[in-house]
Amino acid sequence: MEYFTGALKRYADFSGRARRQEYWMFMLFYLVFYIALSVTDSFLGSIWLSSIYSLALLVPSISIAARRLHDVGKSGWWQLIVLIPLIGAIILIVFLVKDSHDENDYGPNPKLL
């Protein structure tokens, strides 16, 4: 839960680096909360709770993905590769799964801090 709240505290911070564990734990909690809200929406017969949740966490999701890409030495703009059908999503996932590089243009390795 610390990773999720930590990402929310750095809401629109697109600079720096995010470790692999930080990114994937954020995505895990995001998905769990989204599924819970979707189930609640289905019982209530609406789509508002999950839609508002997704919109509220859109910027933090983009910012933590940009910091994760910085950790592997890529620009945050690489997220736009997902606009290429199928292949783009696969390439982005490969970048997000890669291990941290040592010091790069985006700062020191967060594993060493």
Mean pLDDT split into 10-residue runs, the chain, 113 residues? 88 90 95 97 94 96 95 94 95 93 83 74
In this prediction the pTM is: 0.90
User: What pLDDT, on a 0 to 100 scale, did the predictor assign at position 109?
Assistant: 83
Structure tokens at 101: 């590089």
